[in-house]
Amino acid sequence: MVKIFDVAVVGAGFGGLAAAAMLSKEGKSVAVFEASNELGGSAGKFERDGYRFQSGATLGMGFESGGVFSNLYQKLDLQPPPMKLLSPIMDIHLPDRTIHYYRERQKWYEEIARKFPGDPSRIQAFYDEVFRVGAMVDQLVHQLPVFPPKKFKDWVNLLPLVKPGSLPLAPYLGQTIYDRLKKYGLHENRLFITFLNGELMDSVQTNVTRCPAFLGYAALQTFHKGAYAVRGGLAVIAEQLAHYCKRAGNDVFMRHPIYQVSEDHGIYQLQSKRDQTFAAKQVLLNNSVHNFHDTVDKSLASKSMINRQKEAERDAWGAYIIHAGVREEVFAETDVLYHQFIDPEYPDDLHEGGQFLLSLSDPEDRQMAPEGMRSLTISTHTNAMQWWNTAHYAERKEAMKHRLLRTVDHYFPGFSEQLDFVLPGTPITFHKWLRRSFGKVGGYIPDGRFSWAKSYSIRTGLDGVFQCGDTIFPGAGTLGVTLSGLMAAKEMSK
């Protein structure tokens, strides 16, 4: 007789694992299904030639007091992994200056005065607003409402959150970051906009003209609450959450892709490899909306809120990524682990190598690299679909690699000569190893002041089938996907 789980979670990314852990704490019988042999999804890891590489996301967030992971670990009575608090959070390398992005507010304001000498008071006033509005967004989102509301009860559940203290947030729901920059006379400050575009691309996947103000503010202020280098990489967090589920008597099935979800008399059937079938009362899809119609059968898909054609037409990025080993001495003169680079020739390009992030392993973390070496990850946004034109795939892949390495060489001379191991990856790599449809990662691209209203909530339109991850509000990044998983767990436990 087939065991019927209370909840089946498809995908062991951060959102799915956070939900599974919370549901396990509540006594639910849970089965997590992961297609690969690694946990964490786009924040997972792999090992090669003595190096440990982080698959995508590398920066630890949310472990400050009151943060998403701090609260989650307290609820689960888990001990956080060893980590290093970063300040500066990163160095941003622009063609004519390097900006040290400090966590502490006062240090950051002092850096603004040094690096943006023309407008320091106006930029500081802008950041005062960022911190104030970002805190209001946090207060609302951390209460895990279903947002955007899709059902009448979702609207009803939002009403208690509408308090006098949250009403000042309303104007920012209908403006972009660029609209707010106009208020402070900063909309023509090209240097500051270049800086902001880089930070927003990494966190919200868009630029100042297309980013809803409240989403951008929430992302910008998060950097200043606490950023961490987690010992062993972010995958350690995923491993802890999975271990918690197992200790509670639940199952985490590795290398168990789910090929189809169907319904039979109110029970969901999940088909895995070798004709294995699992059953559950509820299902949480943590494998992105891009994969929805390839996961649920046609009968269920036809009843859902997710239109296959409209979903396929929505803009989403892919990632070009380089994993490499480098000799320690290349970065011996800086103890900063995260570096954002702006191409000195094309500073306005936000993708295809125009701006990118380089994450270095902590030299004290010997899990990440052999003695005398450091592992690193370079990533930039790219148009995912162009990589499926295979006629010039190899040449395009090599050209992108050289462009990124050449930019780092510009700021750190001799960098590429000290590389020990170079492994580039494209959206096709993400499609193959992480099963992301067409290699799309990072959620959807905000395209205007009201683009948040087009976000998917945790609801699919199917009773008992929920979703979480980077394509679900509040969006990409380990904090966003974890929050969507916790929102889903809250609804599923009712």
The tens digit of pLDDT for each residue in 40-55 reads 999 999 999 999 999 8
208-255 pLDDT tens trace: 999 999 999 999 999 899 999 999 999 999 999 999 999 999 999 999
pLDDT at 80: 97
Strand partners, 10: 33, 285
Q: What is the mean pLDDT of residues 465-486?
A: 96
pLDDT at 151: 87
Q: What are phi and psi of 292, to 5 degrees?
A: -55, -50
- What class is the 4-43+62-79+232-313+446-492 domain? alpha beta
Residue 307 has pLDDT above 70, yes or no: yes
pLDDT at 48: 93
**So where are the chain's domains?**
4-43+62-79+232-313+446-492, 106-228
**Which run of H or of E encompasses 462?**
strand 459-462
Cα–Cα nearest to 288, from 445, 142, 476:
476
pLDDT at 274: 83
293 pLDDT tier (thresholds 50, 70, 90): very high
Residue 152 has pLDDT above 90, yes or no: no
Residue 480 has pLDDT above 70, yes or no: yes
347 pLDDT tier (thresholds 50, 70, 90): low
488 pLDDT tier (thresholds 50, 70, 90): very high
The CA-CA-CA angle for residues 413, 416, 417, to 5°, reads 90
Q: What is the pTM of this model?
A: 0.95
390 pLDDT tier (thresholds 50, 70, 90): confident
Residue 165 has pLDDT above 90, yes or no: no
Beta-carbon contacts of residue 286 (< 8 Å; ≥ 6 apart): 9, 10, 11, 12, 13, 15, 16, 19, 41, 467, 468, 469, 485
- CA distance linking residue 57 with residue 40, whole number of Å: 10
316 pLDDT tier (thresholds 50, 70, 90): very high
Q: Looking at 168-172, 410-414, 445-449, which range is the least confident one? A: 168-172
Residue 93 has pLDDT above 80, yes or no: yes
Residue 16 near residue 10, CB atoms below 8 Å:
yes
Q: What is the mean pLDDT of residues 99-125?
A: 96
Rounded mean pLDDT of the chain? 94
Residue 409 has pLDDT above 90, yes or no: yes
Higher pLDDT, 295 or 159: 295
pLDDT at 324: 97
Residue 123 near residue 105, CB atoms below 8 Å:
no
pLDDT at 421: 86
- CA distance linking residue 224 with residue 108, whole number of Å: 9
Cα distances (Å, whole numbers) of residue 80 to 6, 162, 224, 234, 344: 28, 33, 20, 11, 39
Q: Looking at 309-318, 339-348, 435-444, which range is the least confident one? A: 339-348
pLDDT at 482: 97
pLDDT at 1: 67
